[in-house]
């Protein structure tokens, strides 16, 4: 995310009346922006251009973690910039990347033992069960719960609890034990996917079709379709192969 040298939009050139404007502070600098915008749109209105710290704009990629505080409140709050609506007198800054410890490993060589997670991330033993990570998670994940499961070596529990993690990094930013929770969870999900849960037959079949080229006629047919037809096929459950429950 960069603040372009181009000055923020001149409000005189816009049709918003002053009663529809609120004040936000981006890294300490005040901007008047229309209310009801998301943080991301408000920052763009203020003249910021996102190079980092923005991806899907739909709450899925976790790139837009934002920390904020509102006037007269001691509480630090967090949210995804693409999903959180601004408030008057909101002081905010973005955390598009948090410096994180990430173990290197070859998934194929990992053994799914109760020691695997602790061996790669011994710092999880430093968890003091303060629950700060759970409180800050914008996905409402029981982060402390999955860290405790990781300490017990229960990869499946970690994988299930962390399934909706979008890797925003906000939990690690609050952890007094300097644990990078989401990388521990990523390792657990990889172990579970590669070593514990059975292979999905439909995925195996699809990979075979890709390797042998059996899928090419279907791919060619799809490339000839227009947007409307593609959309209909995508949403028509009678036509589309969807993952079995």
Note the residues at the interface with ligand FES (CB under 6 A).
Answer: 54-57, 59-64, 80-82
For helices 181-191 and 143-152, the axis angle rounded to 10 degrees is 60
Member of 43, 63, 90, 137 binding ligand SF4 (CB under 6 A): 137
Q: Of 199, 183, 198, whose CA–CA distance to 105 is shortest?
A: 183
Q: Which residues lie across from 68 on neighbouring strands? A: 77, 92
Q: How far is the CB of 42 from ligand SF4 (least distance, A)?
A: 22
Binders of ligand SF4 among residues 143 to 162 (CB under 6 A) are 143-144, 147
Q: Which one of ligand FES, ligand SF4, none interacts with residue 144, CB within 5 to 8 A by kind?
A: ligand SF4
Binding mask 9-48 for ligand SF4 (x = CB under 6 A): ----------------------------------------
Q: How far is the CB of 169 from ligand FES (least distance, A)?
A: 12
φ, ψ of residue 170 in degrees (nearest 5)? -70, -35
For residue 191, state whether it binds ligand SF4 (rule: CB under 6 A): no
For residue 166, state whether it binds ligand SF4 (rule: CB under 6 A): yes
Binding mask 167-186 for ligand SF4 (x = CB under 6 A): xxxxx--xxxx-x-xx----
Q: Which one of ligand SF4, ligand FES, none interacts with residue 64, CB within 5 to 8 A by kind?
A: ligand FES
Q: What residues contact residue 145 under an 8 Å CB cut-off, 6+ apart?
A: 134, 161
Instruction: Write the burial class of residue 240 (CB in 10 Å: 0-12 exposed, 13-18 middle, 19+ buried).
Output: exposed
Q: How far is the CB of 201 from ligand FES (least distance, A)?
A: 32
Q: Which one of ligand SF4, ligand FES, none interacts with residue 46, CB within 5 to 8 A by kind?
A: none
Q: Of 51, 7, 13, whose CA–CA distance to 29 is shortest?
A: 7
Q: Give the range of 8-16, 131-139, 186-194, 230-238 binding ligand SF4 by CB under 6 A.
A: 131-139
Distance CA 158, CA 198 (A): 17
């Amino acid at each position: 995310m960069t603040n372009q040298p181009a000055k923020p939009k001149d409000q005189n050139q816009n049709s918003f009346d002053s009663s529809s404007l609120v004040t936000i502070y981006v890294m300490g600098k005040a901007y008047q922006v229309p209310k009801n915008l998301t943080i991301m749109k408000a920052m763009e209105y203020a003249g910021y251009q996102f190079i980092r710290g923005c991806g899907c704009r739909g709450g899925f990629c976790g790139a837009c973690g934002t920390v904020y505080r509102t006037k007269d409140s001691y509480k630090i709050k967090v949210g995804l910039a693409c999903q959180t609506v601004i408030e008057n007198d909101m002081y905010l800054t973005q955390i598009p990347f948090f410096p994180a410890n990430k173990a290197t490993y070859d998934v194929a060589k990992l053994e799914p033992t109760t020691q695997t997670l602790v061996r790669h991330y011994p710092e999880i033993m430093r968890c003091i069960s303060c629950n700060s990570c759970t409180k800050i998670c914008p996905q409402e994940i029981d982060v402390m719960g999955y860290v405790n499961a990781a300490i017990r070596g229960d990869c499946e529990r970690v994988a299930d609890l962390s399934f909706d993690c979008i890797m925003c990094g906000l939990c690690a930013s609050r952890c007094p034990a300097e644990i990078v929770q989401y990388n521990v969870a990523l390792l657990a999900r990889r172990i579970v996917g590669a070593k514990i849960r059975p292979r999905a037959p439909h995925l195996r079949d699809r990979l075979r079709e890709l390797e042998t080229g059996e899928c090419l006629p279907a791919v060619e047919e799809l490339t000839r379709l227009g947007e409307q037809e593609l959309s209909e096929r995508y949403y028509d459950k009678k036509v589309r192969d969807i993952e079995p429950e």
